[in-house]
Chain A
Amino acid sequence: MSQDTLARADERVKSESVVTKLMKRPELGAIGGVVLVTLFFMVTADRTMFTLSGIMNFMTPAAQLGILGIAAAMLMIGGEFDLSIGSMVAFAGMIFGVFVVNVGMPLVIAIPLTLGIAAALGATNGMVVLRTGLPSFIVTLAGLFILRGAALVGLKLFTGGSTQLRGIREAVEGDFLAPIFSGDAFGFMMRWLAEAGIVDSFKSGVPKVPGIPVEIIWFVIFAAIATYILLRTPIGNWIFATGGDALAAENSGVPVRRVKISLFMLTAMAAALVAIITVIDAGSTDARRGFMKEFEAIIAAVIGGCLLTGGYGSAVGAFFGAIIFGMVTIGLTYTRFDQDWFQVFLGAMLLLAVIFNNVIRRRVTGER
């Protein structure tokens, strides 16, 4: 066979349109979902939902979930699950509360310490999964109960019998790190925009939205960094390879164990970050904090295009998945629907997303 015939383009392959190319992006489903949900609420909900303050209202829970969702998505792409992140939020919230209230640590010590302990627990999860070869689903399910229970016992121990630890806001007041982890950012910008008449303000001239809640800033930055790592660094390639086929990745020189353990540490640290932000915001912590968040985070990741089998997905997808979540949770209160439709809606979204993803995967791999 001559070189010429080989080099000729294959006449059986049709050229791809832009639409087909877009169809192959994992986050497509989630973006479509955001559009659909927005249209739905535009029709059914009160107008105030899509004012600036309305948007901040649903973006705040979206951001809190999204930080978990993006980490869960990265772990899922790496081929593992972590069902203990919800309980990790409660546990990390408890130790953080104890550090600042009972021990009286400044944030500059308490925050790295909390994140460090979470990371160590995440690494333990990863180590157990790798050592035993058991599915991470089961190992972290054990973690779900252990950490939830430990949070409860710990709270009772340090508060003298209560399941709630109060006084956190007072303890961190005036700490120079507090504005990074609590309250609103860019207040000056909002005031300026209000003066210029671009955003709504009260009669006194104070803007209706005092600033952007810090969790939204964390959420956006985290999504950007995660996307950059996944798509533009060798580590991203290792994560996809590890989840796609751990043995093949290992044989090609990818440090599979290190990748998996780092991802478990990342999800645990994301949970601790959410705990720190929400605990300072609420001023107290309790044992129910983060309840069911592990499932919501995984749902956000799946809506965002992650395959349950690993090796495929996107951080941007999880970003939009979390926004869908926030819109539905808060959005229903702007409508005349019973708010408890929320769970029905959620289950339906999940099912749709999984079916849609399955179709997409067939397209990408060319399975017939």
Chain B
Amino acid sequence: MSAPIIHMENIKKHYGNVIALNGVTFDVRAGECHCLLGDNGAGKSTFIKTMSGVHKPTEGSITFEGKPLSFNSPRDAMEAGIATVFQDLAMIPLMSVTRNFFMGREPTKGRGLFKRFDIETANEITMTEMRKMGINLRGPDQAVGTLSGGERQTVAIARAVYFGAKVLILDEPTSALGVRQTANVLSTINRVRSQGIGVVFISHNVRHAMAVGDRFTVLNRGQTLGTATRGEINAAQLQDMMAGGQEMAELEGSLGGTI
């Protein structure tokens, strides 16, 4: 198997006397979907924020494409090719899809005083990229506010991919979506992975993770409980690890195995 694009070794993060992460090891290879699973409060958010340059780890090393690296800001991480699609998506509902797509990175034409936003090219690229992701827009001037949650998610993913992401971190992309929209986002992940991008899929929904994941890492109480490859582990075992074993087994018994 190929070498990992990014490798995070024994990451620790302390906030004062609170230990948010206590030794997390995680890596992503090109063209795989690595699922990071964990219950609420397991440290998923802290971990991806470390990965995307928002936080600096207290301890531990980050290796990016074979070289040791330390990000000072989300901008650094973005420039290196680590794109994060956060739950709030960084989209502006009142603005058109095109304007959102190119926000902060507008293509221009002309020079000097006449350097202007090349809106025709931008519209064309947006329509093409969105069509590639399986979304037909009414027009490039359609406001993002009129899109469904799944479609917005897809715009955010398409934007990251278009701007050359090597690693795409998706923070619970399916948590607020309906059945059909979830299926659309999962198939988008599949499409992105086949382009050779490493996808980090954060979720607490084991079924969604099992649908697209190649490898699964479970985070519990700020520590990795281990990484399993597809086929080595089943949904029930993952569920168990996430919940920390014992208590969940008891709960599940009383609920008749419905969770």
Determine if chain A interacts with chain B.
yes
Which A residues fall within an 8 A CB radius of B? 1, 3, 6-10, 13, 16, 228, 232-234, 236-238, 240-241, 244-245, 247-249, 251-254, 307, 311-312, 361, 364-367
Report yes or no: A9 in contact with B75, Cβ–Cβ below 8 A: no
Known: A1-B187, A240-B92, A365-B146. 11 other contacts (CB 8 A): A1-B183, A6-B135, A7-B136, A233-B116, A237-B106, A237-B117, A248-B89, A253-B75, A311-B95, A312-B94, A366-B146
- Among B74, B99, B136, B138, the residue within 8 A (CB) of A16 is B138
Q: How many contacts between A and B, using CB within 8 angstroms?
A: 94
Report yes or no: B104 in contact with A253, Cβ–Cβ below 8 A: yes
Q: Is B249 an interface residue (CB 8 A)?
A: no
Report yes or no: B117 in contact with A361, Cβ–Cβ below 8 A: no
Please name 17 pairs of A and B residues whose Cβ atoms are closer than 8 Å in the assembled complex, sorted by A: A1-B184, A7-B131, A232-B116, A233-B117, A236-B117, A237-B102, A237-B106, A238-B103, A244-B94, A245-B90, A245-B92, A251-B74, A251-B86, A253-B75, A253-B78, A311-B95, A365-B93
Q: How far is the CB of A361 from chain B (nearest CB, A)?
A: 7
How distant is the Cα of A241 from the Cα of B134 in the complex, in angstroms?
26
Q: Is B88 an interface residue (CB 8 A)?
A: yes
- Among A7, A13, A237, the residue within 8 A (CB) of B99 is A237
How distant is the Cα of A26 from the Cα of B133 in the complex, in angstroms?
31
- Among B75, B99, B115, B145, the residue within 8 A (CB) of A241 is B99
What residues of chain B lie closer than 8 Å to A237, measured between beta carbons? 99, 102-103, 106, 117
What residues of chain A lie closer than 8 Å to B248, measured between beta carbons? none
CB 8 Å contact bits of B85-113 with A (1 = contact, 0 = none): 01011111111000100111110100000
Instruction: Count residues of B near A (Cβ-Cβ below 8 Å).
Output: 34
For A307, give the chain B residue with the smallest CB separation: B94
What residues of chain A lie closer than 8 Å to B187, measured between beta carbons? 1
For A5, give the chain B residue with the smallest CB separation: B134
Q: How far is the CB of B102 from chain A (nearest CB, A)?
A: 7
What residues of chain A lie closer than 8 Å to B119, measured between beta carbons? 232
Q: How far is the CB of B174 from chain A (nearest CB, A)?
A: 16
How distant is the Cα of A338 from the Cα of B117 in the complex, in angstroms?
49
Q: How far is the CB of A283 from chain B (nearest CB, A)?
A: 35
- Among B90, B104, B134, B183, the residue within 8 A (CB) of A3 is B134
Q: How far is the CB of A367 from chain B (nearest CB, A)?
A: 7
For B84, give the chain A residue with the smallest CB separation: A251
How distant is the Cα of A240 from the Cα of B98 in the complex, in angstroms?
13
Report yes or no: A241 in contact with B95, Cβ–Cβ below 8 A: yes
Report yes or no: B104 in contact with A249, Cβ–Cβ below 8 A: yes
Q: Is B212 an interface residue (CB 8 A)?
A: no
Report yes or no: B92 in contact with A244, Cβ–Cβ below 8 A: yes
Q: Binding site of A, secondary structure by majority: helix, strand, loop or mixed?
A: helix
Q: How far is the CB of B195 from chain A (nearest CB, A)?
A: 15
Report yes or no: A365 in contact with B94, Cβ–Cβ below 8 A: yes
Q: How far is the CB of A366 from chain B (nearest CB, A)?
A: 3
Known: A1-B183, A234-B117, A253-B104. Is A241-B74 also a contact (CB below 8 A)?
Answer: no
What residues of chain B lie closer than 8 Å to A1, measured between beta carbons? 134, 183-184, 187
Report yes or no: B145 in contact with A367, Cβ–Cβ below 8 A: yes
For B122, give the chain A residue with the smallest CB separation: A237
How distant is the Cα of A13 from the Cα of B139 in the complex, in angstroms?
12
Report yes or no: A234 in contact with B108, Cβ–Cβ below 8 A: yes
How distant is the Cα of A251 from the Cα of B117 in the complex, in angstroms?
20
CB 8 Å contact bits of B69-82 with A (1 = contact, 0 = none): 00000110010000
What residues of chain B lie closer than 8 Å to A234, measured between beta carbons? 106, 108, 117
Report yes or no: A244 in contact with B117, Cβ–Cβ below 8 A: no
What residues of chain B lie closer than 8 Å to A311, measured between beta carbons? 92, 94-95
How distant is the Cα of A7 from the Cα of B88 in the complex, in angstroms?
27
How distant is the Cα of A1 from the Cα of B181 in the complex, in angstroms?
12
What residues of chain B lie closer than 8 Å to A8, measured between beta carbons? 136
What residues of chain B lie closer than 8 Å to A253, measured between beta carbons? 75, 78, 103-105
Q: How far is the CB of A288 from chain B (nearest CB, A)?
A: 38
Report yes or no: A248 in contact with B92, Cβ–Cβ below 8 A: yes
Report yes or no: A248 in contact with B108, Cβ–Cβ below 8 A: no
What residues of chain A lie closer than 8 Å to B91, measured between beta carbons? 245, 248
For A256, give the chain B residue with the smallest CB separation: B104
What residues of chain A lie closer than 8 Å to B225, measured between beta carbons? none
What residues of chain A lie closer than 8 Å to B102, measured between beta carbons? 237
Q: Is B125 an interface residue (CB 8 A)?
A: no
Report yes or no: B104 in contact with A238, Cβ–Cβ below 8 A: yes
Q: How far is the CB of A232 from chain B (nearest CB, A)?
A: 5
